[in-house]
Structure 1
Amino acid sequence: MAGRSRTRLLGLLAVLLGAAALFATVSILNVTYWYVNTTQPPVKKYVGNDTYVMNGAFVKADWYYDPNTGLNITRVYVTGVPGDIVNITNALRVCNNYNVSVKIRIKDASLLQDFYPGSNYIRYMAVKFIQPTNATDNQAVIQNEAVVDPSTGYVTLQPGQCAILGVDLIIDANAPYYKTLAAYQINIEKVPSG
Structure 2
Amino acid sequence: DLHMGMVRQLYGRYYELFPIHIAWVHTKPADYFVADRADQRLEAEHVARVRQQLGYLLNDRENRAIKTIKQIYWKRYRRSADRDEQLIAFLGDNPRQRLCWSGASGRIPTLRTNSSSGKMYSLQRRRWLCCRELLCTLGFPVVPEVALSMGVPVVPVRDRARAKEICGNAMHFGCVCVIQFLAMACFSPRRLSARDGRVPLPNDESESED
Question: TM-score of the superposition, structure 1-length normalised?
Answer: 0.24
Structure ID, larger Rg: 2
Q: Hey, which of these two has a bigger chunk of strand by percent?
A: 1
Q: Which has the higher contact order (CA 8 A, sep 6+)?
A: 1
Question: TM-score of the superposition, structure 2-length normalised?
Answer: 0.23
